[in-house]
């Protein structure tokens, strides 16, 4: 049967089965399709257009801070992957290995990059010689491969798209500054463009990146109360530099090791957009990231003048908004359902009566609020409505997030909250890995981050009762 | 030693050793670096910025014709690659195979995509059902892998970046129209933006793409007289559709096979830019594709007011041109040499005397023409000079190309020309593969294309003397 049919079949409701709702939305909004390669997804036009918009905005922000884009090879020789001990231990169990090239077995097997620290280090080792060569602030947009067992579209797949920034600096301070600068860039992007509020903080030793000195993260809360790590920024100190021998001569002609960082944001963030904003009718896209912002839907389009007026309206809005006009032969109700499933921020309904009255109806996707607007005011009203929608989507997501943050003063409270009120739990922690392991084993919750904004909830660790100094966000996570 | 040093060391001249000149330029203009993975290159900021500009312009042109971007998996299961007989024969000998994922051997080995026809077909098989689903005009920007034995930066590497368009149409005519539309798009892009004249034509049966019904190509001539295939567009007919079972119901509810096309342009084109326009001082970039168009070089920058004026000038040009100001502590001569090596279209020299006279000096990279220009006229003059440079670069390349096209009426003449006057040879051909094979074996020249613009040079094949109807461009090629 035709696509239209598939589109408007009801989807599972969020309350009934959130995981199934998610799967329904990614398929029915035509963001992805499954491929014949297990665990790898096909990103369809609607999904890829979203990624292109994310790239465009993030890349623009990168370049304003002096980032330069490069491209490193897809493959990493085994011996290179093994140079930094913690790093190889973290990644070796989940990489794909190329063992044959053409008709011959390779002398050394190559892994398909799961991340490119080792390639950048191998490059920087020769490319950096003097303090005048620093800093290096390089980034690449590419795909990476991690051989996951369980996969879910956008959230966890064997191949995914991302950007990975890799920098080298003369001093520890410069590296730390860049690490935090990029974390803030990710946070601002998520909040200002994706309307997703995030919590900024540091990962615990247990949760940090393989090979990092410190990992920083932005954590977002999904509608179902689960957390999603939405971007990370790592300070490597001089660990990789020592393993790879990346040295420069400083102004006194002394050899020094560089200090490095890396930071990444992936197609995972599309999962966050879906799970923070979506509703039972499908996707809801924030206006600032939506590939199509306005869907013009003619009513009784067979009547004289309707399509003409709709096209005239579309033409008058081009340049100010991304506009689509749905001239297909489906019924208006069908088209409304499609527009809602795809999450297009507003639709404009325009029929013979509207035209007679010199007006049309603008309907917001998120609230369904309807606005009857005279033709001459449509551009101004759209600007106002889309701005308002962007702002209110953020506020609504923040309110939901804040309502799902609870404080636990002891372990019983912690477990009770986790069961009864899904969301973030703030609780004090002694700093010991054993407590993290115990909590994870007994509740499946993990430490999400040690937030920059600390608060002293009590004097003791929520798990072991020993003295605690750090407040941690905990939660079940994707 | 410092980078500056490396930059201005003399490079091999083009006449002395063109291959070495090419290698020198790609390295010294900092376009690429070699990686520790044999046959894979690192694309450095200057090289990647060039690719980003190519992508931006080509993608804009694509979208104007209705192309939608998607992303397909990196891997192709062996059984999928094998579905179309000619296709697998063409590619299987040169693919890289993944045989292990994580700690386990894979049940079925996966090849790293050398091209994605099979993935798109596997997808279209399910995605296309009705004539209302057609056409599909999808494209992806990605990297592909071909296990080449001999490699050269940009021209032939084991991994390279490209775009691959894959379309499906209801009729043979629609497919043919799209095939030619994209060939023309490539040709226009090369001529208008890269200032590279191309010859449009069809590949012979022997040279066509594995699995195609017909392959069309744009062929450019490099400075040394060798040809470079610069973009290809394939009409698949319904061959892949039959192999994969891609059918739709037409308006009469009858099942039909779709007709398909594919078309690609790769980082190879950067090799063409270098080899068409470069000179013994390095790269020469056409203004319309140059990541930096204007390099402002202060003279005696330590003198009061010089840097201030240079910065003021730079600020006044932003928005109209991409401008860089070189405030480093190198000598002006050093900076000139760097600007020339990098191929920045114009430099502006500005020193104390110029400032006194209210003027500066603009120097064109290609001709070294100098223009003394009053400050208030710089913006207008730059516009004029860059337009002129773009135009003249194309004309110069076309003149060089035309001067290196010769006609051969018989085989002796063919061999003689090939030896004495490198370039394209136009000659008649009988249509038999044996003649192509003989010519290739005896002269290393190949048929580049059967040009759309035909001319009857004689009645007989240049090789076998039998009746001929087609004029062919022949040449040695990269």
Q: Which CATH architecture has domain A405-475?
A: 2-Layer Sandwich (3.30)
- B3 pLDDT more than 70: no
Residue of B nearest to A2 (CA): B130
How much is the average pLDDT of A76-81? Answer: 95
Cβ pairs A/B, distance under 8 A = 163
- Among the partner-chain residues A70, A102, A159, the one whose CB lies closest to the CB of B42 is A70
Q: Alpha-carbon dihedral of residues B252, B253, B255, B260, nearest 10 degrees?
A: 70
Chain A residues with CB under 8 Å of B130 CB are 2
Structure-token pair, residue B363: 């120097």
| Tens digit of each residue's pLDDT (9 = 90 or more) over A258-284 | 999 999 999 999 999 999 999 999 999
- The whole-angstrom distance between A140's CA and the closest CA on chain B is 10
Mention every residue, 6+ apart, whose C-beta is less than 8 A from residue B363: B346, B347, B348, B349, B369, B370, B371
Cβ pair B159:A2 closer than 8 A? no
Cβ pair A35:B145 closer than 8 A? no
Cβ pair A73:B42 closer than 8 A? yes
Chain A residues with CB under 8 Å of B56 CB are none
How much is the average pLDDT of B464-471? Answer: 95
Query: Alpha-carbon distance A436 to A204, whole Å?
Result: 9
| Tens digit of each residue's pLDDT (9 = 90 or more) over A299-345 | 999 999 999 999 999 999 999 999 999 999 999 999 999 999 999 99
Cβ pair A37:B76 closer than 8 A? yes
- The whole-angstrom distance between A10's CA and the closest CA on chain B is 20
pLDDT at B92: 87
Q: Which CATH architecture has domain A294-389?
A: 3-Layer(aba) Sandwich (3.40)
How much is the average pLDDT of A139-166? Answer: 96
pLDDT at A3: 43
- Among the partner-chain residues A36, A48, A138, the one whose CB lies closest to the CB of B122 is A36
The yes/no answer on whether domain B3-277 falls in CATH 3.40.630.150 is no
Residue of A nearest to B130 (CA): A2
What ipTM goes with this model? 0.95
| Tens digit of each residue's pLDDT (9 = 90 or more) over A21-71 | 999 999 999 999 999 888 999 999 999 999 999 999 999 999 999 999 999
Q: Alpha-carbon dihedral of residues A127, A128, A133, A137, nearest 10 degrees?
A: 80
How much is the average pLDDT of A66-81? Answer: 97
Chain A residues with CB under 8 Å of B99 CB are 97-100
Computed on alpha carbons and rounded to an integer, the radius of gyration of chain B in Å comes to: 25
pLDDT at B296: 98
Query: Alpha-carbon distance A233 to A246, whole Å?
Result: 21
The correct CATH number of B294-387 out of 3.40.50.800, 3.50.50.60, 3.40.630.10, 3.40.50.1100 is 3.40.50.800
Chain B residues with CB under 8 Å of A27 CB are none
pLDDT at A10: 81
- Among the partner-chain residues B41, B97, B101, the one whose CB lies closest to the CB of A147 is B101
pLDDT at A7: 54
Q: What is the DSSP letter of A408?
A: -
**How many residues make up chain B in this entry?**
478
Closest CA to A149 of A28, A38, A308, A22: A38
| Tens digit of each residue's pLDDT (9 = 90 or more) over A181-196 | 999 999 999 999 999 9
pLDDT at A22: 98
**Strand-strand pairing, B136-145 and B68-69:** parallel
- A92 pLDDT more than 90: no
Spans of all domains in chain A: 3-277, 294-389, 405-475
- B220 pLDDT more than 90: yes
Among A88-97, A170-179, A458-467, the minimum mean pLDDT is found in A88-97
B10 band by pLDDT with thresholds 50, 70 and 90: confident
- A350 pLDDT more than 50: yes
Structure-token pair, residue B17: 């050793």
Q: Alpha-carbon dihedral of residues B249, B254, B255, B260, nearest 10 degrees?
A: -70
Q: At what angle do helices A172-192 and A45-64 cross, to 10 degrees?
A: 140
Among B36, B83, B132, which would you mutate to test the A interface (most chain A Cβ atoms within 10 Å of its Cβ)? B36
Cβ pair A45:B138 closer than 8 A? yes
How much is the average pLDDT of B54-64? Answer: 98
Q: Alpha-carbon dihedral of residues A108, A109, A113, A115, nearest 10 degrees?
A: -70
How much is the average pLDDT of A224-248? Answer: 97
pLDDT at B231: 97
- Look over chain A and give the mean of its residue pLDDT values, rounded to a whole number: 96
pLDDT at B5: 47
- Give Cα B200 distance to the centre of its chain: 14
pLDDT at B7: 54
Share of chain B above pLDDT 70, in %: 98
């Amino acid at each position: 049967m035709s696509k239209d049919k598939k589109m408007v079949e009801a989807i599972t409701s969020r309350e009934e089965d959130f995981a199934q709702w998610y799967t329904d939305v990614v398929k029915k909004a035509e963001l992805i399709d499954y491929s014949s390669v297990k665990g790898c997804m096909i990103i369809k036009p609607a999904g890829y257009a979203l990624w292109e918009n994310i790239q465009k905005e993030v890349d623009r922000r990168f370049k304003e801070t002096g980032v330069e884009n490069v491209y490193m090879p897809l493959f990493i020789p085994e011996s290179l992957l093994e140079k930094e001990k913690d790093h190889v231990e973290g990644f070796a169990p989940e990489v794909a290995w190329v063992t044959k090239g053409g008709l011959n077995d390779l002398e050394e097997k190559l892994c398909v990059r799961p991340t490119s620290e080792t390639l950048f280090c191998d490059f920087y080792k020769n490319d950096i010689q003097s303090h005048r060569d620093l800093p290096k602030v390089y980034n690449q947009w590419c795909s990476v491969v991690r051989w996951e067992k369980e996969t879910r579209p956008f959230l966890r797949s064997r191949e995914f798209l991302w950007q990975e920034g890799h920098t080298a600096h003369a001093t520890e301070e410069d590296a730390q500054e860049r690490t935090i600068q990029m974390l803030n860039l990710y946070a601002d992007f998520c909040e200002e463009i994706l309307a997703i509020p995030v919590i900024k903080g540091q990962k615990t030793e247990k949760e940090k990146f393989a090979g990092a000195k410190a990992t920083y993260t932005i954590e977002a809360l999904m509608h179902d109360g689960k957390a999603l790590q939405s971007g990370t920024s790592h300070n490597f100190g001089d660990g990789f530099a020592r393993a790879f021998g990346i040295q420069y001569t400083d102004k006194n002609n002394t050899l020094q090791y560089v200090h490095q960082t890396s930071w990444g944001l992936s197609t995972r963030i599309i999962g966050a957009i879906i799970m923070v904003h979506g509703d039972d009718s499908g996707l809801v896209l924030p206006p600032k990231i939506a590939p199509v912002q306005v869907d013009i839907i003619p009513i009784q389009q067979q009547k004289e003048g309707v399509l003409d007026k709709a096209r005239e309206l579309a033409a008058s809005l081009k340049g100010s908004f991304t506009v689509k006009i749905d001239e297909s032969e489906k019924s208006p109700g069908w088209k409304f359902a499609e527009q809602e499933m795809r999450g297009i921020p507003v639709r404009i309904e325009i029929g013979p009566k509207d035209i007679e009255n010199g007006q049309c109806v603008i309907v917001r996707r998120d609230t369904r609020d309807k606005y009857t607007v005279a033709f001459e005011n449509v551009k101004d009203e759209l600007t106002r409505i889309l701005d308002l929608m962007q702002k209110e989507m953020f506020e609504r997501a923040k309110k939901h997030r804040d309502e799902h943050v609870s404080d636990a003063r002891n372990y019983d409270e912690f477990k009770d909250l986790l069961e009864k009120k899904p969301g973030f739990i703030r609780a004090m922690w002694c700093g010991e890995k054993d407590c993290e392991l115990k909590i994870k084993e007994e509740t499946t919750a993990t430490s999400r981050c040690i937030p920059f904004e600390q608060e002293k909830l009590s004097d003791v660790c929520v798990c072991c009762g020993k003295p605690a100094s750090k407040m941690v966000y905990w939660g079940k996570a994707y």
